[in-house]
Amino acid sequence: MQVIVVDTAQDVAMLGADHICRLLSKKDNAVLGLATGSTPIALYQELIERYRRKEVMFRSAHSFNLDEYVGIAAEHLQSYRFFMNQQLFEHIDIQLKNTHVPDGMIDPIQAADDYEALINAAGGIDLQVLGIGRNGHIGFNEPSSSLGSLTRIKTLTPDTIRDNSRFFSADEFQPRLAITMGIGTILRAKKALLLATGASKADAIQAMVEGPLSASCPASALQLHANAVVIVDKEAGAKLVNHEYYHWVRAETDQLIVGLK
Ligand code: F6R
- Summarised one tens digit per residue, pLDDT across range 40-57 is 999 999 999 999 999 999
Q: How many residues does the chain have?
A: 261
Count other Cβ atoms within 10 Å, centred on residue 221: 27
Say what the pLDDT of residue 257 is: 75
Domain hosting residue 227, numbered range = 2-260
Q: In what order do the strands lie in the sheet with 127-130?
A: 2-6, 228-233, 191-196, 127-130, 31-34, 62-65, 99-100
At 60-112, the pLDDT tens digits run 999 999 999 999 999 999 999 999 999 999 999 999 999 999 999 989 999 99
Model confidence at 252, in pLDDT bands (50, 70, 90)?
A: confident
Residue 133 Cβ contacting ligand 1 at under 6 Å: yes
User: Could you tell me the CA-to-CA distances from 25 to 30, 74, 188, 210 in Å, in that order?
Assistant: 9, 31, 22, 33
Tell me how far apart the alpha carbons of residues 106 and 126 are, in angstroms, rounded to a whole number.
Answer: 29
> Reading across the β-sheet that carries 152-155, which strands appear in turn?
67-69, 177-180, 152-155
Phi/psi of residue 160, each to 5°?
-65, -40
Say how far apart CA 251 and CA 93 lie, in whole Å. 35
Instruction: Supply the CATH number for residue 47's domain.
Output: 3.40.50.1360
Determine if ligand 1 sits within 6 Å of the CB of residue 39. yes
The stretch 25-39 carries a mean pLDDT of 98
- DSSP code at position 138: B
Give residue 35's Cα distance to chain centre. 4
Separation between Cα atoms, residue 92 and residue 161, nearest integer Å: 31
131 lines ligand 1 (CB under 6 A): yes
Query: What is the arithmetic mean of pLDDT over 167-179?
Result: 92
**Tally of structural domains, the chain:** 1
Question: Among 34, 66, 72, 134, which is best to mutate for testing ligand 1, by the most ligand atoms less than 8 A from CB?
Answer: 66
CA pair distance 241, 219, nearest whole angstrom: 18
Ligand 1 centroid–CA 87 distance in Å is 14
Is the separation of the CB atoms in 141 and 156 below 8 Å?
A: no
Query: What is the average pLDDT score of the chain?
Result: 96
Instruction: Give the per-residue pLDDT at 261.
Output: 67
Beta bridge partners of 4: 231
Enter the pTM of the model: 0.96
CA 81–ligand 1 middle distance (angstroms): 14
Q: What is the pLDDT of residues 123-149, one digit of tens each?
A: 999 999 999 999 999 999 999 999 999
pLDDT at 118 over 90: yes
**Cβ-proximal residues to 261 (8 Å cutoff; 6+ apart), any chain:** none
